[in-house]
Chain A
Amino acid sequence: KNQVEQSPQSLIILEGKNCTLQCNYTVSPFSNLRWYKQDTGRGPVSLTIMTFSENTKSNGRYTATLDADTKQSSLHITASQLSDSASYICVVSANPGGYNKLIFGAGTRLAVHP
């Protein structure tokens, strides 16, 4: 069964600190993996996309990694800001027979405190 599991469920950190969010997936056949940021009361917005051959991708203070062998991805946030408070959703795309099917994780809720 295609699944995406994220950890931790929630996280509280102090402003300026770093943190790492985890995503484990059992999705086949794997197409790509995307991290979304969802602010409270808003729709998700894409942060990064990673394909099978990519190990690391950065977007400002956000760095995503992908290990396709162990089927794990992480999202590292550097020097956190109050505006980083949001839910972060890992989305894996499967491609069974040419159709892209998205499997969403439940998200990690991050709170950055001053």
Chain B
Amino acid sequence: IAGITQAPTSQILAAGRRMTLRCTQDMRHNAMYWYRQDLGLGLRLIHYSNTAGTTGKGEVPDGYSVSRANTDDFPLTLASAVPSQTSVYFCASSVQAGTNEQFFGPGTRLTVL
């Protein structure tokens, strides 16, 4: 049983490049989320998906896009990375939207140079 997996574990990226962070869960949770975690700040919601086929914007969505083609996968894409997107990215899921126990993946550490 894997829970939530993220890939890659870490990545160094040149500014302007496109990057997709992958997230897969095997718990059949309906809702999924992407957060970024920066030093001294709480986790901030980038995008969310309440169920397969739907997505919504969180607190800091600019520069990011997501898709939810099926229940298990929720990739996060940076179309043209900028240094301010250097952060640790966490994917999370919950049984339903509004059920606030969220289960987090191990994170992806992204550095944009």
Contact = CB atoms under 8 A, between A and B. Distances in A.
A46 interface: yes
Contact of B99 (A41, A44, A100, A105): A100
Given A32-B100, A93-B100, A100-B98, A43 B106 contact: yes
B30 interface: no
A34 B101 CA distance: 8
A102 B45 contact: yes
Main secondary structure of the interface of B (DSSP, over half): loop
Contact of B42 (A42, A46, A99, A103): A103
A42 B100 contact: no
Main secondary structure of the interface of A (DSSP, over half): strand
Contacts of A77: none
Contacts of B98: 98-100
Interface residues on B, range: 10 to 19
Nearest to B91: A43
Contact of B107 (A4, A42, A46, A100): A42
Nearest to A43: B104
B97 A105 contact: no
Nearest to B90: A43
A104 B42 contact: yes
Interface of B: 4, 40-45, 90, 92, 97-102, 104-107
